[in-house]
Amino acid sequence: MALQPMAIYKLLPKKNCKECGVTTCLAFAMKLAEGKAELALCPYLSAEAKATLGAESGPPVAEVAFGRKGASIRLGGETVLYRHEKRFVNPTALGVEITTSQSDAEVDARIATVQRTLDRTGQMLAPVFLALVTDNTDNQRFFAIHKQLSDLSIPLLLDAPAELLASAIPETSTRPVIKSPAANPDFHLELAASHDLPILVGGETLDGLAEASRYAQAKGCQHIVLQPQAPALDDRIGAMVAVRRLAVLSRDCELGFPLAWWEQMGDPELAAGLAIMRYASLLVLRDADWARIVPLLVLVQELWSDPQKPISVTPGLYTVGNPGADSPLLVTTNFSLTYFLVTGDAESSGVPCHVLLVDVEGQSVLTAFASGKLTAEKVAATLEDFKAAEIVSHKRLVLPGLVSRMSGKLEDASGWTVDVGPQDSGRLPQYLKGYSTTTGAML
């Protein structure tokens, strides 16, 4: 919200009734200004206040949805320039281009790419849409590929002449994005407006983008995606940054829309990663190379994770393989990455084991220890909470080597014998192969 707290306060009822959850209207105004409260929390707003503050309280980058009903892909909705200020909202949607001149085998390969997923730290990552582009005059080919994609309910971005779109849109099983041509865009804009669909409009300069957005809005389009189209890479990246700054800092109503990046012939490999880091909400890749897509998916996951909320796993007693009562018991924290590394390394040892995750609010072992969240008392209580002594027949646990200095205290607090494991989970396979729950000693 761009309005200052006092300007907001002037529009509030000044009843100080506390129904919004804070003690005074002034405090509520300050929360609204910081984007930390919803307008709807105050039941006494006048129509004028609702209209004025309502217009200001939406995200500065409008949210645009496309794709499957009930599982739509959301673009934009962003409120900040930098992730550490709050967090980013809707992760970049990655898609792959399909053209009508490609062979059946190429089309099938690209379809297969958007049906693949990457399981990383418990989250399923994937490219999520296909951009169908006509690059020849074979209309039947366009309709055939469109039908194939529609039958599979794959979310689509459609870049085709108006007459093809007019026939294809009613047959599309998902809500597509339409790409507007630079010249004679009227029909595409009217089509998007009449079907209430998102429209992708481009411009080589900031003025060009603003003009394209203004024109689309004048034609009745409400869901706009902006694509900087300057020929030079640095100009395009510069435009992405400028658009986001104007949207967030000045609430520019012509540029307050999600940004698209469509790879161009000759773009260097790293350009897609740069575009993700510079606010691309929609990213179209020209090829379907999974080895290229994986790091981009990981980058998106990292950037869109909440910096104030580590990715965590539910604390508890987990298993690797089919452990018995005499299998080793490993202790670690509930930081997601730690969990996946430890269980993955334990699995590769071939030794079934139990893994106890201590709730340290999703921090890694050393961070949790340094911040006082991983203590001997906490581990002892977690052993009790999850009835570890009833699951295993021994009373030995393996503590991460990084926190070996708490082993004595832990033995006192829990009554368990503590064996110090490796500092790096990568050495767990070797450690577990030689570990004995009878003696703790390396065999």
Task: Give residues in contact with ligand SF4 (CB under 6 A).
Answer: 12-13, 15-20, 25, 28, 42, 44
- Nearest-CA neighbor of 4 among 29, 40, 41? 29
Instruction: Choose between 20 and 157: whose C-beta lies nearer to ligand SF4.
Output: 20
Instruction: Choose between 12 and 341: whose C-beta lies nearer to ligand SF4.
Output: 12
Measured from the CB of residue 32, what is the shortest distance to ligand SF4 in angstroms? Answer: 9
Handedness of CA 229, 234, 235, 238 (dihedral sign): positive
73: which 2 tokens?
A: 């892909």
341: which 2 tokens?
A: 């590394």
Burial of 353 (0-12, 13-18, 19+ CB in 10 A): buried
Measured from the CB of residue 255, what is the shortest distance to ligand SF4 in angstroms? Answer: 31
**Alpha carbon distance 262, 297 (integer Å):** 16
Locate tokens 């481009």: which residue?
202
188: which 2 tokens?
A: 């595409």
- Nearest-CA neighbor of 180 among 192, 196, 163, 194? 192
Contacts of residue 167, Cβ cutoff 8 Å, sequence gap at least 6: 143
Measured from the CB of residue 79, what is the shortest distance to ligand SF4 in angstroms? Answer: 21
Measured from the CB of residue 77, what is the shortest distance to ligand SF4 in angstroms? Answer: 25
Instruction: Choose between 9 and 431: whose C-beta lies nearer to ligand SF4.
Output: 9
In a 13 Å sphere around the CA of 436, the CA atoms on its Cβ side amount to 6
Distances (CA, A) of 285 to 32, 56, 116, 282, 367: 39, 35, 15, 10, 38
Instruction: Choose between 18 and 433: whose C-beta lies nearer to ligand SF4.
Output: 18
For residue 72, the SS3 value is: strand
Measured from the CB of residue 2, what is the shortest distance to ligand SF4 in angstroms? Answer: 19
- Nearest-CA neighbor of 202 among 131, 245, 260, 281? 260
DSSP string across 266-317: T--TTHHHHHHHTTEEEEEESS--HHHHHHHHHHHHHHHS-TTS--B---EE
Measured from the CB of residue 20, what is the shortest distance to ligand SF4 in angstroms? Answer: 3
Instruction: Choose between 12 and 360: whose C-beta lies nearer to ligand SF4.
Output: 12
Measured from the CB of residue 40, what is the shortest distance to ligand SF4 in angstroms? Answer: 10
Locate tokens 């924290």: which residue?
333
Instruction: Choose between 1 and 12: whose C-beta lies nearer to ligand SF4.
Output: 12
Helix (H) or strand (E) holding 134: none
**DSSP single-letter state for residue 180:** P
Measured from the CB of residue 23, what is the shortest distance to ligand SF4 in angstroms? Answer: 8
Measured from the CB of residue 10, what is the shortest distance to ligand SF4 in angstroms? Answer: 12
Instruction: Choose between 43 and 408: whose C-beta lies nearer to ligand SF4.
Output: 43
Instruction: Choose between 44 and 290: whose C-beta lies nearer to ligand SF4.
Output: 44
- Nearest-CA neighbor of 298 among 91, 116, 156? 91
Instruction: Choose between 53 and 130: whose C-beta lies nearer to ligand SF4.
Output: 53
Instruction: Choose between 42 and 399: whose C-beta lies nearer to ligand SF4.
Output: 42
Measured from the CB of residue 44, what is the shortest distance to ligand SF4 in angstroms? Answer: 5
